[in-house]
Structure 1
Amino acid sequence: MAARSVHVPLLLLLLSLWSLQASAESSEGQLLCLCDSPKCLQEQCRGTRCFSSVRVGSGGVVFERGCLEGPKKTRLHCATAPSSHQAISCCARHLCNGNTTRGAVMALLPSAPQGEPVGYGAGALALLALGPVAALALLSAAAALICGRLHRGHLRRLQEFDAEQGAVDGLIGSNVQGDGTLADLLDHSCTSGSGSGLPFLVQRTVARQISLMECVGKGRYGEVWRGQWQGENVAVKIFSSRDEKSWFRETEIYNTVLLRHENILGFTASDMTSRNSSTQLWLITHYHENGSLYDYLQRAAVETREGLAMAASAASGLVHLHTEIVGAEGKPAIAHRDLKSKNILVTKELRCCIADLGLAVTHSQADNLLDVGNNPKVGTKRYMAPEVLDESLHTECFDAFKRVDIWAFGLVLWEIARRSYSNGIVEEYKPPFYDQVPNDPSFEDMRKVVCVEQQRPFIPNRWFSDPTLSALVKLMKECWYQNPSARLTALRVKKTLDKIHSGLDKVKDS
């Protein structure tokens, strides 16, 4: 009886928290909030949720008030746990942040700086802090029990799906490379609403324990660093603040249910952190020392069998992305939209995994919902399909986006083939259309070559005298049809590569 009486207040508190979130998200930017920040143009603003925040830096404590717009931004900021140098308090009533003092928000910090005024009594603050924590602990325990059953159900449904669809081996592959603490966490984690990566609060814990060791790459989004977490290497992709939409979209895609696959870059955590008085957006993934396929092919040529295995593994990842897994906890179909050799990584086993999902599009048959995200950026011009270049792409049709991926995958096959030995001969690495457009081609350069002149990458004569490379040429051309509907599906590409590989095995055995 006593245990039951303890649970009732906790459940009531939990229900009130849910009610507060629902009412705030349904208001669709109608809340009037006090705005006290250098960014404020007026003393009041309107948003989905009001907030008060503090940031502790070398210049002292910065206290701000304002509003958050949109449910995604609200969830992102209001669910952020306080750190030693920043905290945020959200509320969902008109001008409710006007009653929140700097001391009250400072009290949310794990260790408030000495000498700061605190607006509430210690007892009240303890109740304020421990109440939600107790409720979350109760909810987490229940979720852990439910999640184990759901996870087993997911795998069972995936196996049934493979049997029915004749999907390729490895669709379920969710093994994490290597042993260790991080791998164990990933293997046994049950992510709230994800199934790919660590639970949200654990993500933040991991992110704050990472040491950045060396910068290993730069791009239009920012930088990639090799980091270390408890002795293990991880990759830390640091987005510039102006590219927040790409970071948010990639985080959103990586947290998709059942996305984890051996040929999709392994996602560990995502975090918004503050360093050197500036906000940094981190995406933490598995680290592959061989770098991208683009980097690897510039450094080394490969035997035909190796090149074929690389291509087949990349195709397997694309199949998993493109495939929708139907069910209550299923996975939407995903189109990459920026597939290229720089966005494919090479593992230590010389297999490939697809990365950089910041421009991805998702589709679910149940509600026929096409989610293109909120990122205005487009893919890489050199890899753009004809229908993208001549602006005839049917953007309301999800299959159209998948066919764009197939065009780009055909170009990746061409890059691998150039660096594959046959009779001891191999070409130096060159990007697609290297001899037809400038180093940094414009949209118009590519449109002229691909759409008007309908040119394709140059095929050396020696490829036709090698049975494997000759078969790859045929496959490439079936990915490069001007008419998108005539191109192969990702599953057909993968099966064709498997067939070419089995042909190699027969020749070897004979």
Structure 2
Amino acid sequence: MAVCIIAMIIFSSCFCYKHYCKSISSRRRYNRDLEQDEAFIPVGESLKDLIDQSQSSGSGSGLPLLVQRTIAKQIQMVRQVGKGRYGEVWMGKWRGEKVAVKVFFTTEEASWFRETEIYQTVLMRHENILGFIAADIKGTGSWTQLYLITDYHENGSLYDFLKCATLDTRALLKLAYSAACGLCHLHTEIYGTQGKPAIAHRDLKSKNILIKKNGSCCIADLGLAVKFNSDTNEVDVPLNTRVGTKRYMAPEVLDESLNKNHFQPYIMADIYSFGLIIWEMARRCITGGIVEEYQLPYYNMVPSDPSYEDMREVVCVKRLRPIVSNRWNSDECLRAVLKLMSECWAHNPASRLTALRIKKTLAKMVESQDVKI
């Protein structure tokens, strides 16, 4: 009996030792794999180089996942630059290059997943849509961080920019035209084997548009976006409890008359929001030495954090729109911009302009003012 017990102890010890050696070996191999992953990107390769290579490779859907994970692992977080209901935004560095790192709360996983999915849509990359670099999940079972890594724009959002900067007519047109180009690309379906679905943003506002160094805009925050593929006639709405920003919601969203089974209504709701953003820009345009202070749309009609009922009363029942200064009518450029925004925020969605029409109208104005885009 004692011999059997001793034999069992020896067997168990051998088994445990063998298992321990195997786990050590696996860990070493895993660490080696990580080192190989991190050495996967040659020294001297910039983010632009990597993205250009991925674009020319023909996939059109962003960097390979292994490269994305490698970049995410190598980023150094420098400082927090923003915070929202979804999480935080940090300025980070990858091999000396500045990047923006959006860190989502774990409760916002659906937003992270959707935004990552949209950014990696084929042919999504455009100069007026925030440049996507990588996405990754970091942490253990009890602690998780959801990372979305994009280009970094030190001027911040359009909201931040307009609060402290004034515009001349050329700067106004550059901002408006570039934002319209980004929206038009989102809304447009590109046909073919390497095609792109039409996409509606669903949360357009000045805080979700960023200002590039050259004074143009790029559209960001695609966590609520809806996709449409005409081949299947399917409207792909994210499984997300988050809703858009009430202040910028179209009348049909506020009164719940929007037909969620069709894609076009989502597009038209974006156009309404875009009209409000143009209004924000136009207020900060100096003409005749006069300019209005920065304000959010409906600032004098609803509280700072309006309820659905507040917005419904103003936008749907009273059918009011943001107040326009008399000076706009005495300036040729602002008069044309006023006409444009009025056709964007029309109560009837069918009466609103398309993003393509907005883009073409602004392109003519840009040309007439000799604006360098």
TM-score tier after normalising by the smaller chain length: 0.7 to 0.9
Q: CA deviation at 1:198?
A: 1.1
Other structure's SS at 1:318 match? helix
Matched, 1:410 2:275: yes
The answer for unaligned runs of 5 or more in structure 1 is: 1-100, 114-128, 134-178
Distance 2:23 2:320 in 1: 62
Number of the residue aligned with 1:308: 173
Matched residue type, 1:202: V
Relative distance call for 1:226 and 1:446 in structure 2 (3 A) is same
Relative distance call for 1:201 and 1:103 in structure 2 (3 A) is farther
Other structure's SS at 1:435 match? coil
> Matched residues, percent identical?
60
Of the candidates 275, 295, 298, which is equivalent to residue 160 of structure 2? Answer: 295
Distance 1:102 1:438 in 2: 64
Number of the residue aligned with 1:125: none
Other structure's SS at 2:369 match? helix
Q: CA deviation at 1:274?
A: 1.7
Distance 1:367 1:104 in 2: 50
**Matched-pair contact (CA < 8 Å) for 1:225–1:236:** yes
Distance 1:397 1:351 in 2: 32
Q: Which protein, 1 or 2, shows the higher relative CO under an 8 Å CA cutoff with sep ≥ 6?
A: 2
Relative distance call for 1:433 and 1:110 in structure 2 (3 A) is farther
* Map 1:72-111 → 2, pairs under 5 A: 108-109=26-27
Q: CA deviation at 1:505?
A: 3.6
Q: CA deviation at 1:476?
A: 0.6
**Matched-pair contact (CA < 8 Å) for 1:191–1:199:** no
Q: CA deviation at 1:277?
A: 6.5
- Give CA deviations for 1:341-378 in whole Å, capped at 9, x if unaligned: 00000000010000000000000111111101211211
Q: CA deviation at 1:181?
A: 1.0
**Matched-pair contact (CA < 8 Å) for 1:382–1:433:** yes
Matched, 1:274 2:139: yes
Distance 1:109 1:355 in 2: 39
- Give CA deviations for 1:139-177 in whole Å, capped at 9, x if unaligned: xxxxxxxxxxxxxxxxxxxxxxxxxxxxxxxxxxxxxxx
Number of the residue aligned with 2:287: 422
Relative distance call for 1:193 and 1:470 in structure 2 (3 A) is same
Relative distance call for 1:467 and 1:180 in structure 2 (3 A) is farther
The answer for unaligned runs of 5 or more in structure 2 is: 1-18, 37-43
Task: Output the aligned Cα RMSD.
Answer: 2.4
Relative distance call for 1:480 and 1:112 in structure 2 (3 A) is closer
Of the candidates 218, 227, 238, which is equivalent to residue 362 of structure 1? Answer: 227
Distance 1:333 1:102 in 2: 53
Distance 1:470 1:424 in 2: 17
TM-score scaled to structure 1, two decimals? Answer: 0.64
TM-score scaled to structure 2, two decimals? Answer: 0.87
Other structure's SS at 1:420 match? coil
Q: CA deviation at 1:465?
A: 0.6
Matched residue type, 1:344: I
Matched residue type, 2:192: G
Distance 1:317 1:231 in 2: 28
**Matched-pair contact (CA < 8 Å) for 1:236–1:282:** yes
Matched residue type, 2:251: P
Number of the residue aligned with 1:437: 302
Distance 1:192 1:253 in 2: 20
Other structure's SS at 1:312 match? helix
Number of the residue aligned with 1:222: 87
Of the candidates 240, 260, 272, which is equivalent to residue 395 of structure 1? Answer: 260
Q: CA deviation at 1:197?
A: 2.5
Q: CA deviation at 1:501?
A: 2.2
Distance 1:333 1:310 in 2: 23
Distance 2:140 2:285 in 1: 44
Q: CA deviation at 1:502?
A: 2.5
Of the candidates 111, 115, 137, which is equivalent to residue 246 of structure 1? Answer: 111
